[in-house]
Amino acid sequence: MFDLGKEFMKKHLVFIDGAHGTTGLEIKQRLLCHPNVELLSISEEDRKDQKKRVELIEKAELSFLCLPDEASRQVVGALKGAGRLLDASTAHRTHRQWVYGLPEIASGQREKIKGARRVSVPGCHATGFVLLARPLVEKRVLDSKTSMVAFSVTGYSGGGKAMIQQYEKVGVSMGHSGQYGLAQDHKHLPEMKRMSLLSREPTFIPVVGNYYRGMVVSLPLGSLVKNLRYPLEELEQLYSEYYSGEELVGVRKRQEGFLYGDEWAGYDDVMITVYGKEENPMVAVSFDNLGKGASAAAVQCMNLMLGLPESQGLTIGKKERAEV
C-alpha cells in the first residue's frame, strides 16, 4: 500500500547546472532547506565541463538548467539517458515538446507539469502578463486579436550578475531607473503572446528600477473591456473565480495608495490588483522577479514533478501580510 508519509520523507536526487548564477543561487538556497531534496554537487574545476555536468544530469532524478540559452540547448542536445529537466532559460519556453511551467494558467496545466520530463520555467515579465491577460482572453472579455499594452517595472536583479554589479559597485550608485527593450524585441514577447492565446505580441514597456528585487506588471484596459457594465467589480470577480483555490495567487481591489515595485519582494506568490475607475480600469500583478518570476516558480514545478506538496519550501505573502 502506498504510504504518503514515507513518500514525503523520501530524498530526491537533484542537480543544479549553473548554480553560481542569480537564479541558480536562489534555487540552491531554497533546496538546501528543502526536506525532500538531496543536492548533487560538482567541483569548481568541473562546473564548466559539459561531459561531467551531463553525467550528473543523467544521474539525478531531476535537474535545473540555469544557463544562457545556447548553453542550455547544447546540454539538452548532449543528453542520452534519463533525467527530468527544468529549464530556467528562454531556450525552450515556446518549444512544443516542453511544458510551460505556470500551473495556474489553465485547467490541466498542473497535470501536464506533473507528468512532464521537460518543463520550461516562465520569464518574469511573461509570468505577470500571462496571469493577467490569459483569463481575459479565456473568458472572452478580450478578443485574441486585441492589441494590448503592458507596462512592467522590475528590480535590477532581473538583469543578472552583470547588472547587479553595475548597481552595487562600492561607493557608486547608478541612481536612476530606465526603460529598455526599445525595439520591441524583448525576449519574453514570444511566450507572452503564445501563452496568453493572443494572435499578436503586445506593445511592451519594461523598466528597470533602482532597487534590488520585486516587480509589478500592469495592463491598462480602458475601452478594451467596454463589454463589461461594471468593470472594476466584474474584473475582480473574474480573477477571483479564475484563480479560486490557487495558493500562490491572491486578488484584491484598490483605489488609493501605491503599487510599489518591491512590495512583494521576498515572497513566492503573486497579488493581482484591480484598480482605476469604471471608464478606465487597470489590472496589475505584484510579485518577486527572483521568486515566482524565477526560482520559486522552478521549485514549485519541481515539487509537482516529484509528487511533493506544491508550495513546499516557498513563502506565501498573502498569508503573512495581514493588511492585504
**What CA–CA distances, in Å, run from 205 to 20, 150, 151, 189, 229?**
30, 6, 5, 11, 29
For residue 119, the model assigns a pLDDT of 98
Radius of gyration, CA atoms only, the chain: 20
For residue 175, the model assigns a pLDDT of 63
- 289 in Cβ contact with 213 (< 8 Å): yes
For residue 136, the model assigns a pLDDT of 97
Quickly tell me which residue has 560538482 as its cell. 42
For residue 82, the model assigns a pLDDT of 73
Which domains can be identified in the chain, with CATH numbers?
4-121+292-312 (3.40.50.720), 124-289 (3.30.360.10)
* pLDDT tens-digit profile, the chain (324 residues): 445 555 557 799 999 999 999 999 999 999 999 999 999 999 888 888 889 999 999 999 999 999 999 999 999 999 986 789 999 999 999 999 999 999 999 999 999 999 999 999 999 999 999 999 999 999 999 999 999 999 999 998 877 777 777 777 755 556 678 888 889 999 999 999 999 999 999 999 999 998 999 999 999 999 999 889 999 999 999 999 999 999 999 999 988 889 999 999 999 999 999 999 999 999 999 999 999 999 999 999 999 999 999 999 999 988 766 444
For residue 174, the model assigns a pLDDT of 60
Sheet holding 12-17, edge to edge: 37-40, 12-17, 62-65, 84-87, 118-120, 99-100
Q: Is 66 a catalytic residue?
A: no
Q: Using the CB atoms, write b or e for 75-104: b if 16+ within 10 Å.
A: bbeeeeeebbbbbbbbbbbeeeebbbbbbb
For residue 1, the model assigns a pLDDT of 46
Catalytic residue among 33, 66, 124, 301: 124
Those residues with Cβ within 8 angstroms of residue 69's Cβ, 6 or more apart along the chain or in another chain: 89, 90, 91
3-class DSSP string for the chain: CCCHHHHHHCCEEEEEECCCCHHHHHHHHHHHCCCCEEEECCCCCCCCCHHHHHHHHHHCCEEEECCCHHHHHHHHHHCCCCCEEEECCCCCCCCCCCEECCCCCCCCHHHHHHHCCEEECCCHHHHHHHHHHHHHHHCCCCCCCCCCEEEEEEEHHHHHHHHHHHHCCCCCCCCCCEECCCCCCCCCHHHHHHHCCCCCCCEEEEEEECCCCCEEEEEECHHHHCCCCCHHHHHHHHHHHHCCCCCCEEEEECCCCCCCCCCCCCCCCEEEEEEEECCEEEEEEEECCCHHHHHHHHHHHHHHHCCCCCCCCCCCHHHHCCCC
Residue type, 109: Q
Q: Are strands 99-100 and 84-87 parallel, antiparallel or unpaired?
A: unpaired
